[in-house]
């Protein structure tokens, strides 16, 4: 079972040292790390559940007062690793869905829930770089499946007030898919 850990700090320097501590604390794989808007630093790791838990504990200790957000997903949908690391080209052009969020963690949770809820392909989980700290998830599949995935994926963010907007586009133009990747 693959687990994911995400740590976000409001200090780039503190984020770098926290990320290093996370990788030294347990055998995990670095999925993504770097500065995101507006001046925050995010570290995303994955691995076995116990290793991710140990790694996250170390990261939170080193982040200290600069910790903005953290998230652990114990049973991660396998599509999420590729969607976060660079994206998956869609295998079909039936429908495309977009979920937009105010926070990075909200997008990660939504992408995982959406992939587990319906027969969709996650295209990308974009984590706050160059978009003012917002994040978004793009996915494809049949219209009904895309809508079901978005409905399931946005439940937590609606409660937390971190959802910006969503859309489902039936039969989108191919150029729209290409522009999103």
Please report, for the chain, the start and end positions of each structural domain, with discontinuous segments joined by +: 3-73, 82-176
Q: How many residues does the chain have?
A: 181
* Residue owning tokens 């994955």: 46
Rg of the chain in Å (alpha carbons):
16
Q: What is the pLDDT of residues 11-50, one digit of tens each?
A: 999 999 999 999 999 999 999 999 998 889 999 999 999 9
The pLDDT value given to residue 89: 79
Q: How far is the C-alpha of 154 from the C-alpha of 16, rounded, in Å?
A: 30
Q: Which pTM value belongs to this model?
A: 0.92
Neighbour count for residue 49 (Cβ, 10 Å)? 16
Are 26 and 52 a contacting pair, CB within 8 Å?
A: yes
The pLDDT value given to residue 166: 98
Are 101 and 157 a contacting pair, CB within 8 Å?
A: yes
3-73 and 82-176 share one fold: yes
Q: Which CATH number fits domain 3-73: 3.30.300.90, 3.40.50.10860, 3.30.460.10, 3.30.70.1710?
A: 3.30.70.1710
Q: Is CATH 3.30.70.1710 the right assignment for the domain spanning 82-176?
A: yes
Q: What region does 108 belong to: left with phi over 0, alpha with psi -120 to 50, or beta?
A: alpha
**Torsion over CA: 13, 131, 140, 69 (sign):** positive
Q: What is the pLDDT of residues 137-179, one digit of tens each?
A: 999 999 999 999 999 999 999 999 999 999 999 999 888 877 7
């Amino acid at each position: 079972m693959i687990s994911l850990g995400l740590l976000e700090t409001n200090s780039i320097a503190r984020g770098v040292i926290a990320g290093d501590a996370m990788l030294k604390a347990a055998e995990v794989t670095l999925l993504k790390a770097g500065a995101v808007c507006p001046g925050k630093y995010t570290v995303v790791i994955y691995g076995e559940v116990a290793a991710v838990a140990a790694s996250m504990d170390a990261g939170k200790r080193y982040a200290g007062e600069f910790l903005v957000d953290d998230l652990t997903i114990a049973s991660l949908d396998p599509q999420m690793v590729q969607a976060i690391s660079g994206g998956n080209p869609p295998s079909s052009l039936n429908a495309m869905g977009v979920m937009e969020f105010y926070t990075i963690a909200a997008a990660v949770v939504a992408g995982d829930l959406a992939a587990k809820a319906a027969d969709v392909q996650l295209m990308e989980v974009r984590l706050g770089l160059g978009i003012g700290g917002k994040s978004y998830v793009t996915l494809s599949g049949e219209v009904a499946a895309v809508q079901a995935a978005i409905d399931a994926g946005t439940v937590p963010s609606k409660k937390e007030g971190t959802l910006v907007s969503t859309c489902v586009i039936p039969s989108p133009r191919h150029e729209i898919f290409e522009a999103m990747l």
